[in-house]
Amino acid sequence: EQELGEPIEAWAPLGLAHEVLGQFGPQDRAGAILWAIGRRRPGVTVAQARADAAAMGERMARVYPATDRGFGLVARPLKDQLVGELYAPLRLLGVGALFLLLIGCANAGNLLLARLLTRQREFAVRAAHGATGRRLAAQVIVENLVLAAASGALGLALAALGVGALRRGVAGGISPVVRFALDGRLVLGGLALTLATGLLVGLLPAVLRSRSRTPFSAALNQGGRSAASSVRQSTVRALVAGEVALALVLLAGAGLLWRSVRNLTTSDLGFRTENLLTLRLDLRSQRYADPEARARFGRAVVEELGRLPGAESATLWGPSMLGRATWVIEALNEGAADDPSNLVMSARHSVNPGALANLGIALRRGRDFTWNDDLRAPLVAIVSESTAKAEWPGQDPIGKRFRALRLRGWATVVGVAADARHRQRIDLTDAANGIPPGGLGPQRDVYFPYPQLPNPALVVAVRARGDAGSAAVIASGLRAAIHRLDRTLPVYDVALLADRLARQERGSRVIALVAGAFAALALVLAALGLYGVLAHAVARRTPEIGVRRALGAPPASVLGLVIREGLVPAAAGAALGLAAAFFLTRGIASLLYGLTPADPGVFAAIAAVLLAVAAAACVLPARRAMRVDPMIAIRGD
């Protein structure tokens, strides 16, 4: 579907598909590409099914080495396949949502605990008047559950609005099996976690008070500053550290995705994409069953389109789209042992003479193709520099020979071209299977002359002179030019190559945008939580600050005291988050381009940003502490 434009759903008998559609026959093991659907028996896991499929692929490679060696069978749930390229971002979206929920619960727990710390004198007075610990805990639990229920209801309403916006935003652009709706299990789980946060925070004072040996009278004289209070303060700090750690993991993932998208959009493809109008032709019909007929038609197309007003050049490219190479060959150079370890996999392209120059791909050594390199001439090829280094390291590849599966005879290298990133973009369906971007690693390509390898799936690219307006003028004459050669041939999927590449980047941009939004929200939540905790801490320690100021402590020391109280747990959380991100970001490795999941630059920048935000959250409470009047603070007014 991705190679043939918009999908068209139709059913045809497998035995007649090659006749009706001009595709490979069911007995052609070298060309048939089939999907198989099976139902697992009860008790059989997905892992077992995958192992069985892999073993079947290995047996087929042994029985049919000429066509099946180097290939395998991969089994995956049908639902994941139908969801397709949304599988990876939806999984990422779910993990981010879980992290946000945990950060929100930690934030709420922090603020509730900090509020309890400032109410220790109130609880001591109530206890002195006969209130039992159970009654005090019940009061706090009821208060917290009311707040948690209200917060959960508000969150549920926002979730419903978000799902509706998401459904409207992607309408018509996703698989029909994907439904955007609130999942009842997830809603119940989120509400349960929200209520559990309020319940646990409410139970904590009673538990700590029951374990504390400090009598209520002593707690009253201490203003609530007891051993239990110290334990609660430690709990608050631990929650702050956990909240910062979760936020850093989200920020690290978003930072890696943003850098990856930036690398994608700014990296050099190795060929010129401007003013390049592309279209597709399908020569899989009885009229073009003969390879010579396809070769003659291809040359006629180049000559006819080259005469269009405003056209600079015309290029044949098959079978894959420019910038999205998907067809590969496994080449074995002459003299190497016939062993799978000696096979070099490269992307395969069929091009017309002059195609590389038309696209701006430099020819480093050797010669270009000519129209005399046809089916009657020996098979020749131009290899990329990376392919030459892999096949013939330290040697001159010109004149070397190699053979590949599904090709006739031996091919002689007549030229070496500069590397180009024909598989540079991220395929989200591949990413769902853990396959990294094709642009990573060596850019190995092998170019064959179209007259010798006239592929029926053909892409035609016409370079317009001047700006994109010239391309629009050419587009109006493309179909007429093709139909002058063959009135029955459909011309479809006409688009600028720059627009195609932008669509290929769209999924990556959406993922980076969603992850960035989650990370920004996590950063705001962490900052607000830290500010709230410090504000409560300043209010609780106001008498202590007044004593310090009365004894001559300078404002700078008070400022350092407050900032240190906030930055110490934040720094501990940042360290914990960095350690967690080092392992967790490996799960998005298949979505990254041009950097590693543990990129030190991204990690250092994210940690610096998070600590800077934490320091900023400490400033307002610190300034408030510096303005405390010593006498008022000592009196507790």
pLDDT in tens, 594-608: 778 888 888 888 888
Helix (H, G, I), strand (E, B) or coil at 328: strand
Q: Which residue has the higher pLDDT, 603 or 563?
A: 603
Q: Residue 365: which pLDDT band, with cuts at 50, 70 and 90?
A: very high
Please write the tens of the pLDDT for every residue from 316-331: 988 877 766 677 777 8
The whole-number pLDDT of residue 9 equals: 63
Residue whose tokens read 């490979």: 24
State residue 407 phi and psi, 5-degree precision: -120, 150
Q: Is 296 a residue whose pLDDT tops 90? A: yes
Q: What is the pLDDT of residue 302?
A: 92
- Of 618 and 449, which is predicted with more confidence? 449
Those residues with Cβ within 8 angstroms of residue 8's Cβ, 6 or more apart along the chain or in another chain: none
The Cα–Cα gap between 345 and 328 comes to: 7
Q: What is the DSSP letter of 361?
A: -
Of the spans 247-256, 364-373, 521-530, 541-550, which averages the highest pLDDT?
Answer: 364-373
pLDDT of residue 169: 55
pLDDT mean across residues, the chain: 76
Q: Give yes or no for residue 115 having a pLDDT over 90.
A: no
Decide if 411 contacts 448 (C-beta within 8 A): yes
pLDDT at 165 over 80: no
The residues with which 445 forms a beta bridge, in sequence order, are 347
Q: At what angle do helices 542-550 and 555-584 cross, to 10 degrees?
A: 130
Q: How far is CA 451 from CA 112, 317, 349, 353, 397, in A?
A: 76, 12, 12, 9, 23
Q: Which residues in 442-463 are b (16+ Cβ under 10 Å) and which e?
A: ebbbbbbbbbbbbbbbbbbbbb
Q: pLDDT-based confidence at 628, cuts 50/70/90?
A: low
pLDDT of residue 563: 78
Q: How far is CA 553 from CA 395, 538, 562, 621, 622, in A?
A: 77, 16, 13, 18, 14
In whole angstroms, what is the distance from residue 3 CA to residue 427 CA?
13
**Averaged pLDDT, 574-594:** 80
CA separation (Å) from 330 to 71, 200, 406, 444?
A: 10, 61, 10, 11
Residue 512 in contact with residue 89, Cβ under 8 Å?
no
Question: What is the token pair recorded at 279?
Answer: 């279209």
Residue 34 CB burial class (10 angstroms; 0-12, 13-18, ≥19): exposed
Helix residue ranges per DSSP H, 380-439: 385-391, 428-432
Res 311 pLDDT > 90: no
The token pair that represents 184 in the structure block:
């009842």
CB neighbours of residue 101 within 10 Å: 18
- pLDDT at residue number 89: 61
Least confidently predicted of 137-146, 162-171, 517-526: 162-171
pLDDT at 494: 83
pLDDT of 22 strictly over 60: no
- For 84: left if phi > 0, alpha if psi spans -120 to 50, otherwise beta; the answer is left
Closest CA to 599 of 92, 252, 262: 252
* pLDDT exceeds 60 at position 273: yes
What pLDDT score does 286 carry?
A: 79
Is the peptide bond preceding residue 353 cis, with omega within 30 degrees of 0? Answer: no
Asked if residue 253 has pLDDT above 60, the reply is: yes
| Cβ(593)–Cβ(262) below 8 Å | no
Quick one: pLDDT band at residue 213, thresholds 50, 70, 90? very low
Residue 86: the pLDDT is: 58
Once rounded to an integer, what is the mean pLDDT over residues 502-530? 73
Residue 216 pLDDT > 50, yes or no?
A: no
Cα–Cα distance for residue pair 517/124, rounded to 1 Å: 44
d(CA 251, CA 206): 36
What was the pLDDT predicted at 369?
95
What confidence score (pLDDT) does residue 21 get? 54
Whose tokens are 């009061």? That residue is: 139
Q: Is the pLDDT of residue 471 over 50?
A: yes
Angle value at C-alpha 323, between 481 and 411, nearest 5 degrees: 85
422/175: higher pLDDT: 422
As a whole number, mean pLDDT of residues 100-127 equals: 72
At residue 220, the pLDDT reads 46
In this predicted model, what pLDDT tens digit does every residue of 56-111 receive, in sequence order? Answer: 888 888 888 777 776 778 887 777 666 655 555 666 667 777 777 777 777 777 67
Could you tell me what percent of the chain has a pLDDT over 70?
71
Q: Which one has a higher pLDDT value, 482 or 179?
A: 482
> Which range, of 215-219, 328-332, 400-404, averages the lowest pLDDT?
215-219
Average pLDDT over every residue of 344-365: 90
What does the pLDDT average to over 109-115? 70
User: What per-residue confidence (pLDDT) applies to 440?
Assistant: 47
* Residue 472 or 586, more confident: 586
Dihedral sign of CA atoms 53, 58, 61, 67 in order: positive
Q: Which residue has the tokens 């407050």?
A: 562
Residue 364 in tokens? 């480093």
How far the first Cα of the chain sits from its last, in Å, is 74
Task: Count helices and strands (H / E) in the chain.
Answer: 20, 11
Q: How far apart are CA 53 and CA 478, in angstroms?
A: 46
> Using CA atoms, how far apart are residues 73 and 464, in angstroms rounded to an integer?
43
Question: Where is pLDDT greater, at 67 or 617?
Answer: 617
In this prediction, residue 299 has a pLDDT band, given cuts at 50, 70 and 90, of very high
Residue predicted with more confidence, 233 or 389: 389
64, 116, 50, 95: which is closest to 591 by C-alpha? 95
Residues in the chain: 637
Q: Are 454 and 295 in contact (CB under 8 A)?
A: yes
pLDDT reported for residue 2 = 41
Report helix, strand or coil for 79: helix
Which pLDDT score is estimated for 15? Answer: 66
In angstroms, how far is CA 445 from the centroid of its own chain? 26
